[in-house]
Amino acid sequence: MGALGADKVIWVPGLAGQDITDWHVDCLARFVAPGKVILDQPGPGASSKWVAVYNETKKVLQSATDAAGRRRAITELPGPDRRYIRGRGTDFLSSYTNYHTENGAVLVPQFGDSYADDVAYGILRTAYPGRTVVQVRIDNIASGGGGIHCATQSQPVVPAVV
């Protein structure tokens, strides 16, 4: 793990065979700061299989500690009501947690459920106080099973060797 700069890995079960990644962890949980994680909570109308993955992941995160043995604070990010989202299709990915952080900003999906879109916006503004939160319509990307984070593929900065 040293080559990755990680001192500890927390494994979550995912859901084998459901998509090419056995469930995108970037649609499920995001570590936003030391000791803080955002957990995607499936919205109304979500399949029971995704609710089960959420419940199991929440249990894992509640009992997991960081490398120093400290517990994490979990902030739940409720998903949109599937009746109100603009996009459709069996592969539609309606996860606000699949956002992208960049220089001073957070790009967040917007799905058309105005109540849920507003709640997600508020939670992420609180989680990233020094950044501007920008909501983006991603209906076409989400209809294909992807999200903003999936499409951007962030690359970490490699520290300079001194």
Q: Residue type for 105, please?
A: A
Q: Pinpoint the alpha helices (H) of 43-111.
A: 48-63
Using an 8 Å Cβ cutoff, are 15 and 22 in contact? yes
Q: Which residues of 144-154 are buried (b: 16+ CB within 10 A; e: fewer)?
A: ebbbbbbeeee
DSSP helix/strand/coil, 41 = strand
Catalytic residues: 150
- Written as six digits, the tokens of 150 are 């999936």
Dihedral (C-alpha) 94, 29, 115, 125: value to the nearest 10 degrees?
Answer: -130
